[in-house]
Every structure is written in structure tokens, then in C-alpha cells.
């Protein structure tokens, strides 16, 4: 069976392609924004095709030839507010309009299933202690990215009702693994340098998902009958405080964690004074996911523990090899 992966050059898309290459059941196709002039540079383990202009919704029919399923990983994640007068419209152009145009074309061309990588931001940004987000909770996005993902989800479900093409929505939290960037990558570098971090008294709980666990879930959603037209939350099934995460990262690097006992209130105050409230919210607040629906409906369990996933960030044992 042929599966088309958008965002093929991205963190999740690239890892998914590597997993599919190792499986006999699927023939992966990498949809990239633009093919390089030298096709030899993209390798021969995966067929590559040019996606087209996602923001304009312009795709060639040949893109969908013989395709049984699409995994849509491509997205507009950030917009520089200082550059764009209306950042939400930029996010919507790709994440909503582009996604729905791609899905509509896929339905017309006979694609059977469309798997959409959404975000836990659709649910919200924080959870109260002991009250994790669930897949069927009322959405409450707080930023433009979350809003755009929710609008895309709703449009896809409406399309599924109108056309019969099956839609599967996966909402992951922070995804980590070899080569991860962003705030998690910065945290890895700080721990690796042995810099003391002020999180010794932080007792929050946050859900994460390792790249290999997420990819395993996506593969399960490609053809599982019970996945059709459902929303699933992704996670490792093990929540960590920021202090525990720093300790686990240090252990994975064979280092001693260096944690300072600074009260959370002082950290929140300092973050407000330097304009980093959003970062403090992620480091100090809780964001827990209940993945019981995912596990029960799909007969699935995360194959790797958090400890195994973090070790893969440093020892190269992840399936994130090279094509």
C-alpha cells in the first residue's frame, strides 16, 4: 500500500518515512516542497514527489496516483508577529486552507484515509493537577497555532462526512528525539554543559511523546479500522516534572543533574520581569494527557519508555537513521 507523507523533510515526517521504509506493508512517498535539481541527493529508498503550493492549494493529480493513505505532517508552526500584521491569517493559509485543499483533492482522487498531525494545543496550554486532557474534551486553544489546528480538524471531519474518506486526527504534546530543536533542544544543551538549573522544587507534571512512540502510533492509525474518523492523543504514558525531566536527561548523558531549590513563585516573577512568561508556563506548569482512548481503541501501547526515548537522543539507537 502506498502512503504519501507531507512535511517529509521535517522532524516527524522524516522519522515516519524511515519507519515505513523498514516495513513491508507500506510503500512510502515523500512529498517535499520542491525537488532538488540533483535527484541523487535525496536518496533512492523513498520515492520523492513535489507537493506543490500548500498555501495556495495547488496540487497535481499525479501526486495522488495509487495513494492509499496520506499522513499530513506539514504545517506553519510560527509566524513572526513583528513582520506580519495578521499572524493568524498566515497560519490559517497553510494549516487550514492548505490542509483542507489537500484533503479535498485527496478525496476526489480516491485516497482512502487521511491522517492529520494536529497538536495538543487544540485542547489548551495547561491542566489542573490530576485533570489531564482527554481526546473528547471541549477544545480550548489559546494561541493562533492551536486555533488554526482546531479549524483544520473541524473542516476535515466535515469533509469525511461529505465524501466518505476516513480521517484520523492525532494530537501530540512536545515531541522529542535525536536532533530535536526548540526549547527542548536548548534544555538538552544546558544539561549537557552542567549548568545549574533552578527547577529543584518544581513538582509539575507534563506529558511528552518520544519520536519513535509517535511514529509507531501513526503507523497504527494508517489502517486500523477503529481509527477511522477519530481523535487520538499521543504520549509516552508517563508524566514527568521539570525536575524529573532534567534528572532523566542527565542520566541519559551519564551526567549528574544540577538542580537548585528555587521556589516556583520566584521563577514566575523573574519570568514576568524579563518577558518570558510563556516559557515559564511551559517549564513550571502542568500539561497532562490521558491516552487511554488511544490505547484501548487501537489496542496500542507506547513501545518505548521515557528513559529509552531520552537515551535515543544521545546513543543513536533510535530508528532515526539516514535514508
Helix (DSSP H) and strand (DSSP E) numbers for the chain: 11, 9
Determine which one of 145, 184, 199, 300 is catalytic.
145
Angle (nearest 5°) at CA 26 between 23 and 28: 105
Give 168-235 as a DSSP string.
EEEE--EEE-TT--HHHHHHHHHHHTT--BS-TT----B-EEEHHHHHHHHHHHHH-GGGTTEEEE--
* C-alpha closest to that of 71 among 161, 146, 158, 1: 1
* C-alpha closest to that of 13 among 185, 127, 179: 179
Give 70-110 as a DSSP string.
EEE--------TTT-S-HHHHHHIIIIIIHHHHHHHHHHTT
- Is residue 145 annotated as part of the catalytic site, yes or no? yes
**Neighbour order of strands in the sheet with 69-72:** 47-50, 27-32, 2-6, 69-72, 113-117, 166-171, 230-233
How far is residue 41's CA from residue 44's CA, in Å, rounded to a whole number? Answer: 9
Annotated catalytic residues are: 145
Amino acid at each position: 500500500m502506498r502512503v504519501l507523507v507531507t512535511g517529509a523533510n521535517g522532524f516527524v515526517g522524516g522519522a515516519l518515512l524511515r519507519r515505513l521504509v523498514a516495513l513491508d506493508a507500506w510503500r512510502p512517498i515523500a512529498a517535499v516542497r520542491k525537488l532538488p535539481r540533483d535527484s541523487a541527493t535525496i536518496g533512492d529508498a523513498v520515492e520523492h514527489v513535489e507537493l506543490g503550493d500548500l498555501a495556495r492549494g495547488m496540487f497535481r493529480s499525479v501526486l495522488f496516483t495509487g495513494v492509499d493513505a496520506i499522513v499530513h505532517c506539514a504545517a506553519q508552526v510560527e509566524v513572526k508577529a513583528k513582520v506580519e500584521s495578521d499572524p493568524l491569517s498566515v497560519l490559517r493559509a497553510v494549516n487550514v486552507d492548505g490542509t483542507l485543499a489537500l484533503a479535498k483533492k485527496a478525496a476526489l482522487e480516491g485516497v482512502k484515509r487521511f491522517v492529520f498531525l494536529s497538536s495538543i494545543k487544540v485542547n489548551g496550554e495547561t491542566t489542573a493537577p490530576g485533570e489531564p486532557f482527554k481526546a473528547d474534551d471541549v477544545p480550548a486553544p489559546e494561541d493562533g497555532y492551536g486555533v488554526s489546528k482546531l479549524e483544520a480538524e473541524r473542516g476535515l471531519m466535515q469533509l469525511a462526512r461529505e465524501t466518505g474518506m476516513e480521517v484520523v486526527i492525532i494530537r501530540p504534546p512536545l515531541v522529542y528525539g535525536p536532533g530535536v530543536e526548540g526549547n527542548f533542544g536548548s534544555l538538552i544543551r544546558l544539561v549537557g554543559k552542567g549548568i545549574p538549573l533552578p527547577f529543584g522544587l518544581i513538582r509539575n507534571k507534563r506529558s511528552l511523546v518520544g519520536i519513535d512512540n509517535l511514529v509507531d502510533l501513526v503507523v497504527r492509525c494508517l489502517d486500523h479500522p477503529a481509527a477511522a474518523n477519530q481523535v487520538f492523543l499521543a504520549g509516552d504514558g508517563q508524566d514527568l516534572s521539570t525536575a524529573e525531566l532534567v534528572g532523566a536527561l542527565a542520566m541519559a548523558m551519564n551526567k549528574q543533574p544540577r538542580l537548585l531549590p528555587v521556589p516556583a513563585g520566584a521563577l514566575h516573577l523573574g519570568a514576568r520581569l524579563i518577558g518570558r512568561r510563556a516559557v515559564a508556563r511551559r517549564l513550571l506548569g502542568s500539561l497532562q494527557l490521558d491516552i487511554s482512548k488511544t490505547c484501548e481503541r487501537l489496542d496500542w501501547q507506547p513501545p518505548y519508555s521515557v528513559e529509552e526515548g531520552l537515551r535515543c537522543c544521545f546513543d543513536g539507537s533510535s530508528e532515526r537513521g539516514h535514508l
